[in-house]
């Protein structure tokens, strides 16, 4: 608008100079000139800095650009990443050895960042929503506790919170031998972290997941077509229940089919052990224990049980273990697990006769059979599998095995981010709920909507419009703040990059990768935010 005013045609009855000057001072002309000058300044500035950089880089860091053949070229800036990392990662999410490449080490860090970030993101959403609602609660005590929580988290730096949490809370937890078990549940909390039960995907899980996707598709279709019929006929049909029932039926059928058809899991046994089929295990163990019925095992002493127990060799953290042991537990049979750190160790342990069976996927067992001295004296017995099997943590010796365990560092970072951002989110949620005017609620009641309908149709859509944009920025900040893992020595992307820099002496190259990864994360969230804002754009006037 200013432009149209300023660029109005010049008055004609002026002299030559003023006519020229009115063109020169035309805002569009000036604007373009200023912008071109701006570009020139930016380019000159970049050139100056770049010149300095080239000068200094050539002098200080020529060694950074040495190729493998010893020549010097800027294109070799990232060649060093193929070399041996040579350092250990305390909590690698993937298989990692010190002889792996820098790329692989960095990739482990990136995965760790996402692991802790996404988990904290989910937990933050839950905690923030609960705290936001608690702030508005009519229970005085609850709202005050929530207020104190929000004020404390918002008025102190996240770094200090994290340090306090890690050094004064997590590390002050009891030793693993006296791990806290809240209410006797199979959850172990100690200064080494947290272990919780966790579903383990078996090899037949993809089939079941395909069925689940089919079920979701069915849900959508049922929802859509029954909704259309509802609109046409005007008769309400409980489309949610029908759709849900259909989904459950398909999921159940998928479960049965995938567990019936899957034949990937097996055990390797010696022919001499008289186990020809999985069901034979029961009779073999019962004979060995000298009992006629499994319930008699309850009366046996520990030594007798140990004698009778089925000794299982297995690769550590392999899903074959819970699959087999869950079945044995259901049968009431005693067992003893011998976990090996690698498959070849497990095989040699079986070959030495340390255990009765070797549990693994069949493909691994076939290759194991080939490695044994006398393959003919052993055979592979199928073990049935379900798509998911629960692994439950339990005490064994001086350690907690099974389940899904977070290290203390992971736990502290996860908890610290969750608590800090939960406080911020609580305020967002509270503001969102308060932004829906009371008149809306009253109008909904006046229309005779049920409480559930009121929340679902009137309050939530309006509150979410206010909540979601700051929620997404909170998510973004949270993902960025996973870099604070460096303060508690959790090996996420930033910490790994620091180690890489110390190992390779090439700070700039690594920092560029790291910043790019963070930028990609932030662009992702920005795109989501823009997409949402465009969908629910608030039109002014």
Partner 1 sequence: MATLTSSTRAIEPPREKRGTFSKSFNWTYFLQDNITGSRGLTIWVALLTVITLAVTVSQLGSAPRRAGIIVAVWAIAVVATILGELFTLHNPITRWLKENMFNSVSNTLITLLLALVVGQVMTQLWNWGYVNATFDPALTAPDVRSSGASWGVIWGARKLLLTGPLEPEYTWRVILTLVLLLALWAFTYIATRRAIKASVPVFSKIMNGLWLLAPIASYIFLAGLQKELPAATKTIDFGLFWIRFNPVVAIAGLTINMFTLVAGLLIVLATMAVLWFFRVIQLNPTAIVMWVLAWPVAYVLWRVIAQTGWFPSIDVDHWGGLLLTMIFAFFVNIISFPIGILLALGRRADVYGIPSWIVWPVAILSTGYLLMTSTPELWETSRNGIEKTLALWPVLIIISAYFFMRSFNGNVVKAFSILSIEIIRGVPLITLLFMAIIMAPFFTSEGVELDKFWAVIVGFSIFSSAYMAELVRGGLQAIPKGQYEASDSLGLNTLQKYRFIILPQALRILIPPLAGAVIGTFKSSSLVALVGLLDLVGVVRGIIANPDWLGLRSELYAFMFVLYFVVSSVVSAYSRRLEERVGLGSR
Q: Which residues bind partner 1 (CB under 8 A)?
A: 1-3, 5-6, 27-28, 31-32, 34-36, 38-39, 42, 44, 48-49, 52-53, 55-57, 60, 75, 137-142, 145, 151-152, 154-161, 163-164, 167-168, 172, 183, 451-452, 480-481, 483-484, 486-487, 494, 507-508, 511, 514-515, 518-519, 521-523, 526, 540-541
In sequence order, the 6+-apart residues with CB closer than 8 A to the CB of 134 are 142, 143, 145, 146, 426
Supply the minimum distance, in Å, between the C-beta of residue 101 and partner 1: 16
- Per DSSP, 61 falls in state -
Supply the minimum distance, in Å, between the C-beta of residue 58 and partner 1: 11
Distance CA 152, CA 175 (A): 29
| Rama region for 427: left / alpha / beta (φ>0; ψ in -120 to 50; rest) | alpha
In sequence order, the 6+-apart residues with CB closer than 8 A to the CB of 286 are 292, 293, 294
Helix (H, G, I), strand (E, B) or coil at 391: strand
Supply the minimum distance, in Å, between the C-beta of residue 53 and partner 1: 5
Return the number of the residue (90 or 137) whose C-beta is nearest partner 1: 137
**315 - beta bridge partners?**
340
| Rama region for 137: left / alpha / beta (φ>0; ψ in -120 to 50; rest) | beta
Supply the minimum distance, in Å, between the C-beta of residue 141 and partner 1: 5
Return the number of the residue (142 or 305) whose C-beta is nearest partner 1: 142
Return the number of the residue (8 or 376) whose C-beta is nearest partner 1: 8
Burial class (CB in 10 A: 0-12, 13-18, 19+), 411: buried
Return the number of the residue (22 or 218) whose C-beta is nearest partner 1: 22
Q: What angle do CA 529, 530, 534 make, to 5 degrees?
A: 120
Return the number of the residue (157 or 375) whose C-beta is nearest partner 1: 157
Supply the minimum distance, in Å, between the C-beta of residue 219 and partner 1: 21
Supply the minimum distance, in Å, between the C-beta of residue 319 and partner 1: 32
Supply the minimum distance, in Å, between the C-beta of residue 38 and partner 1: 5
Supply the minimum distance, in Å, between the C-beta of residue 333 and partner 1: 32
C-alpha torsion angle, residues 309, 310, 313, 318 (rounded to 10): -100
Return the number of the residue (43 or 221) whose C-beta is nearest partner 1: 43
Return the number of the residue (414 or 494) whose C-beta is nearest partner 1: 494
* Tokens coding 268: 């390797």
Distance CA 515, CA 508 (A): 10
Return the number of the residue (47 or 271) whose C-beta is nearest partner 1: 47
Q: Do 378 and 266 touch, CB atoms closer than 8 A?
A: no
In sequence order, the 6+-apart residues with CB closer than 8 A to the CB of 487 are 159, 162, 163, 166
| 3 state SS for 378-431 | EEEEECCCCCEEEECCEEECCEEECCEEEEHHHHHHHHHHHHHHHHHHHHHHHH
Q: What angle do CA 136, 450, 236 make, to 5 degrees?
A: 145
Return the number of the residue (16 or 74) whose C-beta is nearest partner 1: 74
Distance CA 470, CA 464 (A): 10
Return the number of the residue (154 or 274) whose C-beta is nearest partner 1: 154
Supply the minimum distance, in Å, between the C-beta of residue 335 and partner 1: 32
Supply the minimum distance, in Å, between the C-beta of residue 508 and partner 1: 7
Q: Do 319 and 293 touch, CB atoms closer than 8 A?
A: no
């Amino acid at each position: 608008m200013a432009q149209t005013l300023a660029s109005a045609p010049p008055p004609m009855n002026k002299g030559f100079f003023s006519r020229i000057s009115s063109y020169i001072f035309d805002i569009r002309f000036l604007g373009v000139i200023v912008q071109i000058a701006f570009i020139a300044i930016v380019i000159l500035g970049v050139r100056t800095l770049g010149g300095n950089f080239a000068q200094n880089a050539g002098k200080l860091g020529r060694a950074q650009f040495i190729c493998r053949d010893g020549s010097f070229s800027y294109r070799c800036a990232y060649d060093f990443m193929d070399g041996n990392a040579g350092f250990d990662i305390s909590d690698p999410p993937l298989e990692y050895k010190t002889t792996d490449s820098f790329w692989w080490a960095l990739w482990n860090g990136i995965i760790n960042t996402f692991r802790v970030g996404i988990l904290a993101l989910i937990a933050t959403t839950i905690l923030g929503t609960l705290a936001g609602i608690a702030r508005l609660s009519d229970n005085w005590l609850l709202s005050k506790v929530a207020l104190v929580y929000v004020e404390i988290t918002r008025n102190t730096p996240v770094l200090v919170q994290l340090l306090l949490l890690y050094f004064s809370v997590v590390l002050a937890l009891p030793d693993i031998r006296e791990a806290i078990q809240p209410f006797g549940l199979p959850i172990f909390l100690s200064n080494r972290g947290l272990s919780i039960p966790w579903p383990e995907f078996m090899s037949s899980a993809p089939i079941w997941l395909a069925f689940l996707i089919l079920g979701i598709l069915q849900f959508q279709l049922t929802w859509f077509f029954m909704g259309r019929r509802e609109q046409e006929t005007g008769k309400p049909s409980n489309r949610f229940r029908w759709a849900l029932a259909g989904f459950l039926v398909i999921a159940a059928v998928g479960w049965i089919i995938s567990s019936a058809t899957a034949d990937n899991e097996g055990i390797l046994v010696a022919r001499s052990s008289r186990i020809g089929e999985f069901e034979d295990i029961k009779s073999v163990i019962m004979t060995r224990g000298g009992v006629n019925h499994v319930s008699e095992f309850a009366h046996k002493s520990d030594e007798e049980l140990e004698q009778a127990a089925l000794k299982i060799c297995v690769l550590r953290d392999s899903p074959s273990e819970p699959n087999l042991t869950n079945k044995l537990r259901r049968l009431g049979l005693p067992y003893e697990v011998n976990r090996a750190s690698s498959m070849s160790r497990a095989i040699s342990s079986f070959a030495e006769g340390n255990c009765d069976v070797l549990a693994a996927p069949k493909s691994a067992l076939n290759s194991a059979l080939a490695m044994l001295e006398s393959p003919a004296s052993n055979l592979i017995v199928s073990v049935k599998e379900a798509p998911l099997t629960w692994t439950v943590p339990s005490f064994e010796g001086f350690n907690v095995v099974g389940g899904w365990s977070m290290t203390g560092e992971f736990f502290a970072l996860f908890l610290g981010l969750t608590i800090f951002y939960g406080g911020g989110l609580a305020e967002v949620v509270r503001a969102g709920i308060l932004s829906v005017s009371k008149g809306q609620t009253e109008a909904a009641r006046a229309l005779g909507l049920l409480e559930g309908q009121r929340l679902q149709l009137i309050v939530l859509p309006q509150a979410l419009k206010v909540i979601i944009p700051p929620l997404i920025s909170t998510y973004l900040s949270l993902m960025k703040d996973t870099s604070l893992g460096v303060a508690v020595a959790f090996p996420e992307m930033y910490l790994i990059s620091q180690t890489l820099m110390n190992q390779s002496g090439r700070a700039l190259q690594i920092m560029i990768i790291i910043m790019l990864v963070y930028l990609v994360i932030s662009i992702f969230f920005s795109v989501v935010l823009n997409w949402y804002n465009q969908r629910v754009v608030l039109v002014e006037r």
